[in-house]
Amino acid sequence: MTRQLFSIAALLLGSALLLFAGGMNALLLPVRGSAEGFSATSLGLLGTGWAIGYVSGCILTPRLVGRVGHIRSFSVMCALAAIAVLLSLMILHPMAWLPLRAVSGFCFAGAAMIVESWLSERSEASARGRVFGIYTMVNLAATTAGQMVLTLGSTAGYAFFVLAAVVYCAALVPTAISSTAAPNPLVSVRLDLPRLWRNSPVAVAGVFLVGISNSAFGTLAAVYADRVGLVLTTIALFASIPILAGAASQVPVGWLSDRMDRRRVLLGLAVVAMAADLAFILLAPDTRGMNLALAAVFGASVFAMYPVILAHANDHAVEGQFIQTSGGLLLVFGLGSIIGPMVAGIAMGRLGETGLFMTSLGAHLALVLFTLARMALRAAVPEADKGAFMVTPPVRAMTPETAAMVTEDIAAQDTGPDPAPA
């Protein structure tokens, strides 16, 4: 395993730098935009722009890599991301930030896909699960560190914008000087909604609704925390703790979903998320401890939903269609991510800061009702036909290449018949 890690050290370092700068950038813009007096609607549109760029990057990056190669493509992504951050500093206007945030989303998706294809190629099949686990931990730590570094100074100046650009540029160095051979062509995913729906309606509707909720929180959590009077250090924790809680909760959630109907587990997570939504709305907490505690409960539920949905969809996927199913669900999540921040921003503008959680409450309620309706129509998958639950990173940090790494082991284990869709 040590030899494996040494061979991919440059790729892990490049990915860590990319996620560090991305975490910093994602928190810096809403905090600075709120200080500049940008409306909640315009700040929500930043998340919409990022999601549009992200979906476009997942679709178009394989073509770019096919034309100019992996290293050049990765360098272009990092350079464009750095340019977008610097232009955000130079042009402090929400209508300029919207397309620049789309560029950032495109660059993140493209750069991450390239790194992940390298990792998959360089890791041996017997160690791929451990490599993926290390990669996930590195990315979570880097994202959290990027967000927490904002607590070291004021966001009112130019320093953090410049630092994010510097780190984006630094991210291209490890892969540019690495002697690692370029991998095979990237996974190309085409969105086929009719096939996904036939595979599992619960998975398609669920991942779309989770995309609405999670992206709204990911974009506007900092704005909410700022408006309820939390200091910058607490704002950074408010954005980071839910992600870490979601990563930790996947272990017990996965254990449960492998032993009972996954839709019941999804329902339980949605009910817990609704309870957190209602607590934010009805209690209107303004203290540090209460907000962080509720954020942890919220994150532990919402960021564990996607891997349950993915496992449920793969239980129903025909043999050889696992990557297409996972990649397609990822793009459906991206479509939900386009809508979520925009709706939540409008809600916050009209209803106040709790409009964020009213948006996610609506999404979670719709998820509960739809899942209950489908459970009344279809039986659960037999235990013998279920695949294995796979821990996954937060979906905002996933690409079709991540989906390929996650589902390779599931595909290898699947030997049962194609069950009826649920």
d(CA 109, CA 77): 9
Q: Are 171 and 232 in a shared domain?
A: no
Q: Are 179 and 213 in a shared domain?
A: no
Give, in degrees to the nearest 5, the angle at Cα 77 between 307 and 403: 20
The answer to whether the beta carbons of residues 212 and 339 sit under 8 Å apart is yes
For 248-288, the pLDDT digits (tens) are 888 888 888 878 888 899 999 999 999 999 999 999 898 89
Distance of alpha carbon 37 from the chain centroid:
27
Three-state secondary structure call for residue 390: coil
Q: What's the domain range around 300?
A: 187-422
How much is the pLDDT for 410? 47
Return the number of other C-beta atoms located less than 10 Å from residue 292's C-beta: 18
How much is the pLDDT for 14? 86
Name residues of the chain where pLDDT drops below 50: 410-421
d(CA 191, CA 181): 30
d(CA 115, CA 171): 11
Last residue in a domain, options 171, 186, 201: 186
Q: Are 114 and 192 in a shared domain?
A: no
Q: Are 86 and 201 in a shared domain?
A: no
Q: Are 181 and 198 in a shared domain?
A: no
How much is the pLDDT for 330? 83
Domain count, the chain: 2
Give the dihedral of Cα atoms 397, 403, 407, 409; nearest 10 deg.
-70
d(CA 149, CA 239): 13
Q: Are 142 and 194 in a shared domain?
A: no
Please give the structure tokens belonging to residue 94. 């929400």
Last residue in a domain, options 186, 206, 223: 186
C-alpha dist (Å) from residue 267 to 43, 358, 369, 381? 31, 18, 9, 16
Last residue in a domain, options 148, 165, 186: 186
Q: Are 306 and 410 in a shared domain?
A: yes
pTM: 0.85
How much is the pLDDT for 184? 66
Please give the structure tokens belonging to residue 115. 């790194």
CATH of the domain at 404: 1.20.1250.20
For 341-375, the pLDDT digits (tens) are 999 999 999 999 999 999 999 999 999 999 999 88
Q: Are 151 and 226 in a shared domain?
A: no
Spatial CA neighbour of 348 closest among 359, 357, 356: 356
